[in-house]
Amino acid sequence: MSSAAKFNIDDFDIADKIIEVLCDNRDKFYSLRELHSILFDKFEEFRNPELKSFLINKLKVAFISIEGDYNNVYRIVIDNKHYLIWSLKSKDSIIKESNKDSVKNIEDAKIDEDLDNFLNVNNSSETYITIIRDMIREKNYSFMYESNFIDGTNHPIHLLIANNENKLIKDLDELTTIDFNIKNSNGKNCLDVAKEAKNFDVFQIILDKNYQSKLKSLEKINDTLKDNQKKIYEQMDDNKKKIAMLEKKIQHLKSNATIETIKTIFIFVLFIYFCNTYRIN
């Protein structure tokens, strides 16, 4: 069994190690290559030939997704390159203050040549598809709805649709509910991207999901109307009962009033009779 097979990732949290480096130098920009160099020097696991590829892959995944998992950690794009920074400032403030002079990549022969450019905004989609696939495999899908766009323009779901990675989309859909209404920096949602890419399978899936969503909304509205109608009928029945009770009371009062009137007339007649009787005598 290889060292990579024996290695327990739970005992070596790369995200925590990145946070440790970032917090040691607040407000400093770190490229993926620079972070790897520091981790390479600090931890022997990164220097193990059998673990090298495994841990670099983990580092790439953590680099992309860490912003959504930790407070005060931001992924910033400067001069078409991605950097991580830990800061108490707002992300907007950091972006406004950042420029080419804010960052400085280090050169280190120990690092693969392609690592420095792994997250270059100008890279091909395949580069990002690779890391998205690794994230999905690791069931790490919080990155899907970060404020950052993975390639500077698109969220991961847009890239998957544009590149007809329908198997990955299906795998992702089994992990979490995909928001197909999410828009890229050009204001295009997933349906727009699917239409442009002629990805008719996903186009149909989105239409079906939108139909089901609207159908559920209509069913919910219908149920609400039924409940309101039931309450109205119940209120009407209650009002009818109250009216019937009032009519009974009125009738009772009328009956009592008639009896009292008769009594009054009888007493009045009797009074007149006695008056006349005594007057005659």
Q: What's the half-sphere exposure (Cβ side, CA atoms, 13 Å) at 194?
A: 19
Q: Find all residues with CB under 8 Å of 40, minimum gap 6, and list them.
A: 46, 47, 108, 110, 111
Residue 122 has pLDDT above 50, yes or no: no
Q: Hey, do 1-122 and 124-198 end up sharing a CATH topology, with the first three levels equal? A: no
- Token pair 């917090």 in the structure block, residue: 23
Read off the DSSP letter of residue 87: -
DSSP string, 120-167: -TTS-HHHHHHHHHHHHHTT--GGGG-SS-TTSS--HHHHHHHTT-HH
Q: Could you give the CA distance from residue 78 to residue 100 in angstroms, rounded to a whole number?
A: 7
Domain ranges across the chain: 1-122, 124-198
* Four-way CATH pick for 1-122: 1.10.287, 1.20.144, 1.10.10, 3.30.1490: 1.10.10
- Choose between 127 and 1: higher pLDDT: 127
pLDDT tens for each residue of 184-232: 888 999 999 999 999 999 999 899 888 887 778 888 888 888 888 888 8
CA-based torsion, 11, 13, 14, 18: positive or negative = negative
> 124-198: which CATH topology?
1.25.40
pLDDT tens for each residue of 55-90: 777 787 778 778 767 889 988 877 767 789 999 998
